[in-house]
Structures are given as C-alpha cells and as structure tokens.
Structure 1
Amino acid sequence: MGAMRSSFIVLACAAMVGFTSQAPGGWSDVVDGYLRLLAASGIAGSSLMIVRDGRIVARQNAGVQDLDRQVPIDDDTIYHWASITKTFTGIAIMQLRDRGLLSLDDPVVKYVPELRLVHDPFGDVSAIKIRHLMSHSAGFRASTWPWGGDKPWHPFEPTKWDQLVAMLPYTEVQFAPGSKYSYSNPGVIFLGRIIESLSGDDYEIYVTKNILMPLGMRRAFFDRAPYHLLSHRSHSYLRDGSGIHEARFDFDTGITVSNGGLNAPLDDMARYLAFLLGDAARTREYDAVLRRASLDEMWTPQIRAAPGEGTDGADSHAALSFFVERYGGVTLVGHSGDQNGFISHLYLHPPSRTAWLIAFNTDVTPAPERRGSRAVDLAVRDLMLTHVSRE
C-alpha cells in the first residue's frame, strides 16, 4: 500500500464493509455498542465473538483485512493473537508438570542453565522459579531487546536462541524474585525453552501436537502462514496523526514465539474458549489436554499486577499465565495481546461459562484520539458485565 492513508479513507471503507449488527437479540446491545464505537475509531478491521456453554452465541466481523484490495473481514480471517499465546505456553508448562516432568517451584536454571550468565544483584539466580516466570514476578525486563530492535532494518525479534543467550551477560535481574510484579517477555521465552528442553520438540511442534490438534484448532499456526492460508491472513496497520501505515505482513516472531507467535481464525479460538470454560460432557476429551483442577490453579492470583496490564481494572492480579481481575463486582480471567498492529483481548467468566474475544488489526494508540481499540474493548466489557452479572 502507499506510505499513508487518511483516517477518512479507513472509516469510509469500514462503513462500506460490515459495520452492521448481525447478533441474536440476546446479545444485540453488546454488538451494537461495539459497532458504534468501532465506527468512530479509525480501525481498519475487527471481530467480536461471544461463547457460552461451548458454542458461539454472537459473532460480528467489521471492516477489512486488506485496505489495498478491500478484502472484508469474514469468518475465515486469521488474526495474530500476540501475547494471548502466553496462555498456551502456560498450559504446556502445566501439562509437563502434571506428567511429573517439572515442579512450578523448580529453579529455572535447572532447565535453562544459560541463565547463570545473568547478573543478579539480589542473590543466586537459582532463586528464580518457574512460578515466577508464569506470574511475571521473576525480575526480568519487559522487552526482549536490551538495546536496539527499534529500526526497520533490525530483525523483528531475535531469530535464534543463541542470539538471546548472547544478551544474557548484559541482563540484570531488576528485583528480588517474587517481591513484585513486572510484565516480562523474556521470562516467557525461558518458559518456551523449558518446554523444548523437556519435550524434545520445538515449541511450535509441541503446542500443535498437545494443544491445537487435540482441540481441533486445525487452521491455527505459528509465525508465517502456510500458503493455503495466506490469503486469509489479515494485514495489520499502525495509525498516527499523519495517517495509516501498513505494518510488517506475515512476520516471524523468531525465538519469542512462546510470547506471541500464534495466528488463528475465530472458529479455532472458539474451540479454545470452549475448552477453557469446560463442559461436563467433554471432560475426558478436555482432561487429555489439561485437567480442570490444573486450569483452576492457573487462575489462582499470585501477585497484584500493575493497572492497565493484562486485563484492565482497579483490582488486577497476575495468575499463572493468565490475569484475574475484579471489576464491577465480577471476577474475570483473561489476557490481552498487542503486537505489530494487532490488538486482542480474551475474557472468561467461568461461573456463567461465558467468554468473549475481541480482535483489531489496527493500532491507533499513537493517533491524536489515542487508545481507540481499548475504548471499544472496555465498552464491550461493561456491556458484557450486565449479562454475566445476572448469573
């Protein structure tokens, strides 16, 4: 596409393609509110999906997945889910725990000995446990790169484990493990390394074999798209005061794949949400992926999170690869994703067996009105609370 487009073009395109409600009556207030704010956001394309009792009860696609070719968002559109991938990584760790291959209180260096290269001013690095990585309380920095990574000619992310290992002598533990919360992408890379070390598989292969395939997520994949799915992969965009710019297309997250490499259409994500919510009739099938007791353990708060991270509310806690939030008198479990123009939010309300997922292919944060996608997300959340709080 061209170097930039005006926000008027984005909104005009969105108005032509799909900004009309198609929801069943019971959820029409949620979908109508979503569409109303979305139409004023400057976002090129988006989808909303609500799952209850293991089935999709409302779904809305809006806008386009490719501005140049004016390809509309549809049920086959594949979004990049960014940090929602971390929940799959956590499930993989719990699988290995349940198989007796690790303890959450094992030192990370037991499986990732290269971490002894890190400078730890608070003591021995062996004090960092797997549990700390899962709850973002290990003391590692937020970003993968200790320097660079911000130029268009830089790799999008480190592509090899050896590149990350080369950074470890320049890495300092920032606080005593378990003493506070600080969201960390490198910490989840180390979880991915543990999965590879214990399973003998690359991360992508392990998760595909042990989570995606058993759940029937047949069109989900990591990093670059298989050729037969490439035409369904959404483009992504960055919008600022000068217009809208296309981000990298069909990109590779490299060694950070366990942080944010997952791509999938909404139907596959619906299968994931159904699994997370549980179903007595499918207990044997779902327990083969992860037992309900282990999922409940993952949703047990570990440490108070910073406001605005994970889910967003006055009382947010990091759990094990999920976030738990008390908002409006309702407890929600979830995770968000934000990478390369894609923004997404996953919410679960286990008591009502309700979940919803909202995805955007445009980051409008730098634009003058700021936080457009977050405003849509929070409005949807408030409307959803009126439904789940009745349960």
Structure 2
Amino acid sequence: MPLCHKIAVVGTTPDYIDLLRKKAPEQLLFITQTGLEKSDRQEVLPAQEEMLCELSRPEAVMEQLKKHLKNHSLAINGIACFDCESMMLAAYLARELNLSYHSLQTIKACRDKSVTRSLWQQNGIETPRAQRIASAPAAMAFLAQMEGPCVLKPVEGSGSERVYRCDTALACETAWYTICSLQKQTDVIMETFVEGNEYSCDFLMTPQGARPIRFTRKIHSPIPVFGTIMAYELVNFPRGNISPKNFERLLTKAARVLGIKRGICMLDFIVTETGASLLEMTPRPGGDCLPWLIEKGMNLDILALNITLAAQPAFKFQPSRRFSSLVGLRIHGHRTGILKAIDTSRLMPDNRVREVYIKHKPGHMIQLPPKNYDSWNLGHILFKPSPLISCEHQCLHLLSLLNIDICHGKTPPNGGTRQPPKKSQRTMEI
C-alpha cells in the first residue's frame, strides 16, 4: 500500500484542530495531548488524522509516532506548530525525522525570556533591561535598583499570561508569589517597564532576511489584569521614530541572533521615543483573533500559509501589507462560572461589525486569570472602526452590546461540556 503523506501539527487546541482541518482537509496529522478529545471537541478524529498521546515525553512520543505511521501507512513530510508549549516537541520530532523546522537551541532561546534578552543586549538590540529573579526579596531589590516601575513575568510563557506591572515593593512580592504558585520553578523574569505604544507583527524569515507581513497596534483592556489585550488594530506601519527599512534590518538581526533561519514568526515590541524596544519573538504566527483579522482585513490565510511552508520551506511568498482597516476585539468572560449563553442580538445590527466568532459552547467552564488564560477567552468581534471616535471607546461600546450569561456552579448543565483540568495554554493569543 502506498504511503499517505501528512503534515504533522504538534500540540494544539480543539478550536485550532477544527479550523485547520477545514483549511487543509486530509492533509494533516494532529499530534494531540490525551484528554483534549474529551473537551470542546466536535468529534473524535480517525487515526489517519490524529495521534493522541502524552506530549511531555518527547522520546515516547517519537516511538509512538513511528508505530502509528507504520500501522496506518502514513509518512510525515512537514512539521507545523501553533502552540508555544509544544514548539520544543516539534523541534525534537523534526530533528528525529530529518524535517525542516527550527532547532532545539532556537526554540530554547525564544522560549526563555532571559536568554532572549541576553542575546539581544549582547548584539546591541534595544530591549528592556531584565534579570532572572529567584525570590521575592530579589524582586524588591531589582525594583529599588531600577528606581522605576518594573514588570514581572514567567521565564517561559506567551502572550500576556501572568504578567504584572509593579510600582512598589509590596506589588513585587505579591506578583512573585502569584507567578510561582502556578509553576514548578521559583524563577521569574523581571524587567524595566518601557513607556510607549505596543505593537505586534508577523514576518516571514528567509535566508535573505525578514519581511513584515502585518502590523497591529495593541489596545489594552481597562480591566485590572495588567497586560490584557482588549483588541488589535490593523495598521500600515507603527507611528514613531522608525523607518520601514530600518525596522526590516532590526527584524532580520533580531531573528538571526536567536537562530531563526526560515518561517513565519511573531514579534511583540514597543515603539519608544528613540525607536523600537523588542519584547518577545516567537517562531510561529500570531494567534488569538489575529488569523481571522488578517484573513478578513488582508485577504491572507496565514494559517494555511504556515502549513504550506511546513512541507515546502522554499515556497516563494512575497508579503503584501495592503489591508482594510479592521479591529479584532476579544470577548472575555467577566467572572468564574459556567457559560450559559452569549446573546449577540444587539451587536449584529451595528453596521461596523464584520464578523463575530464564538469560541466556546454553552456548558464551557470559565476560570479567570491567573488560573487560566484560555478558558475566559470566549471569542472575538471583527469590526471596521469609525475614524471619528477612538478605537478604545468603540471597543467598549461594542462589548456593552453583548449579553454574556454565566451561571455559578462547578458542573456544567445538561448537554454541556467541561474542559479537563490542564495548564494554561496559548489561546490563539499573541
């Protein structure tokens, strides 16, 4: 029997599995954490499309994958990963299968923020001054030394999960204990707080250099969870003291320093008075509502493109930043409980609204940060903003038109589903 070639998608969330299957029917083999098949899954996939296993042991995953491929006459011709926590496993499998993907060293450099900061600083790339902190007193000492606000965050993480701005010694102590209570290690990253407007971008890295694909301005939420992004606004280029050519050079240098040679990557950065201060670079496309925003606003399916590049690394693609001005507005649960319903009847008649995506079904269990950053993300709204009103005010107005019904309780109502306990994952988040 001839082998059926598949692109392996390593570790992802149920909503992405459903989404990617539609984009590349019968082309993918999902390597999925056991337990997710019992959560918000529409269906259990056949063995030709999914291998369920414990993802924490790479060698065991590789052995199980060899048997799975043999038993079902499959072969892997590419590796893709959309989940930060699974990139190390993806790099390991790619190495063992002799497939194109980022090296283990590159993934380590990107995942460990202290390594990222050190490499960038050594190479003259502007980034916040940072230090690895292993105790609350050390955090308080760093704050005193910097004489200004600081930010505490996990050594490894993604998006804005468990990120805290600290202006006082007490805030430092509280943030350190909060972060460490949700992880096995006692180390956190502490860095200086940088003033400016925050942006993110996706870019294509090739041996010739980096080319930006999209830019979005981050609109921060007024809710008291520091770092929470309320919305993303598609923009042509960040406003500030930086030129497109200089930014491309900076992108190329920053990626090469981390060992990134090829692929679609994401960068978070702050535009300051003097240029750009880089925060985080991740060798995957931006998640959360960004793929929908890019597809609607730029007519570009960045997830499908990433799958194509997994099997055809030398695929020729020339990024074009022509776009329609749109905003991706995130929908968050307002309290812990069980999702009963999301009523969009007052929202849909608004002529600014282009698309509403509800991520979870009734019965979904919501937990608030810092316990879980995935479960409270309920979906998004894509809208075309009016030029006469600030995006921030329009976001708050549109959210006010939603009625999110969350009931108390620990067990879902009849017919509902409840997610199994798991650590917080990237929630399609940037």
Q: TM range, normalised to the smaller chain? A: under 0.3
Q: TM-score, normalised by structure 2?
A: 0.25
Q: Which has the higher contact order (CA 8 A, sep 6+)?
A: 1
- Say which structure is richer in helix: 1
Quick check: which has more Rg, 1 or 2? 2
Bigger proportion of residues as strand: 2
